[in-house]
Amino acid sequence: MVMMEVEIMSRDTIKPSSPTPSHLKTYNLSYFDQLAPHIFSPILLYYTKTNSTAALCLKESLSKCLTKFYPLAGRIKDDVSVDCNDAGVDYLEAKVTNCSLLDVITNPNTHSLKQLLPYEPLSCTLQSPLLAVQVNRYQCGGIAIGVCISHKVADTSSLGTFINGWSCTARGDCEAVAPHFELPTLFPWRDTNDDEQEFHATEETNIMDNQALSTKRFVFNASGIAKLREKARNCSSTIESPTRVELVSAFIWKLFVDSNRSKTHPTISKPYSVFHAINLRKRRAPPLAEHGFGNMYVAVNESLAAENDDDIEYCSLVGRIKGAIRGVGGEFVKKLESGDECYLKRIKACHIQLAKGGKEQINFSSWCWFFYDADFGWGRPVWVSPPLYLKNVVILMNTRDGDGIEAWVSMLDEDIVEFESGPEILEFAS
């Protein structure tokens, strides 16, 4: 594939169409915002056809949308709150040459996709704008919209809420998606002292360990997922109704363990952990609003020593992931809401062990069902992709038809070669 060339044509600052009221000028960060890393969460949405007014429509609707999502036009202050000063968000327009949008969709080069983003995801600082957009135009008439949002103020669910709110505004329905900002009240910022500092120190070490990365996309269509479900059913009659996310996550975890064991002696006892990010909005009792804005997730984890083959049977891993995910319910959220610090201490201990090289860890996050409804007036995106930039991270996306799962896997170059070399992956994914 020919490497695409991206040329920035303009840079603007988009501010809210109406000033933020004085009583909303300070937006406090929540406990979950406090624990979130200083990185950008990126997403790319691709549209094959637009219209002659697309550029003006995107700018004007973004300005209107920012009046509802007013913290995004501000700046973080003292790592505790957002100064909602209407400083605005960065808006870039670019043209893409050397390839068509169809080339990108049918044969994506994951390294070149980063050119379609307004920022490098790891470049986020306390002084950075909290949101940036880059609209990339192809000569064929299609566009790719790259969005970066500060993870310090928003998780993937909130990124999806913003993009869907923006697209509804572009279609003239400003009230279709209304964000709720109650999370800082329910989960206020806490003085966690040394625990939080050590947590972020080890987390930064793990995040920055990302040299020579490769990202591969594996597509599990409906028939592949049906095969995984049958595989789980055949080896265990006790696993009830695993979800597609659980089935694919367990499969990738098994390949991860198998490929790591092949590089060392199989009997070496080294923990192999899986972390899975869980959206807590619907798991609280009563559930939070669907469009609750901010960070509202935890990472559940499971570990195994993998000292013998029984430990890494596929059905066993499905059961472990299923149990960990479904163990997060109302009581778990209630403890967090009451100020329980056990979660922070447990996650910190895992980060420390990982930083010391005491285990191998793979991290999952499901981005299913957040982005494919983003219609700015010229139809739903034909494709959505999450550019990856961290070691041993897997992002799961639903396919456009909703029947399959795209797994975006990011690993060190030598690890991804080992990971995809086994014949088993081709039996279930393309």
Active site residue ranges: 151, 375
What is the DSSP code (8-state) at residue 129? Answer: -
Q: Is 235 helix (H, G, I), strand (E, B) or coil?
A: helix
Class of residue 312 by CB neighbours under 10 A (exposed 0-12, middle 13-18, buried 19+): buried
Q: Is 319 helix (H, G, I), strand (E, B) or coil?
A: helix
Question: Which of 201, 260, 302 has the alpha carbon at shortest distance from 411?
Answer: 260
Task: Show the beta-strand stretches assigned E in 199-328.
Answer: 213-220, 272-279, 297-304
How far out from the chain centre does Cα 273 lie?
19
CA quadruple 417, 422, 428, 430: dihedral sign = positive
377: left (phi over 0), alpha (psi -120 to 50) or beta: left
- 190 and 177 Cβ atoms separated by less than 8 Å: no
Question: Which of 130, 155, 44, 128 has the alpha carbon at shortest distance from 94?
Answer: 44
Task: Show the beta-strand stretches assigned E in 73-160.
Answer: 75-77, 81-83, 89-97, 131-138, 143-150
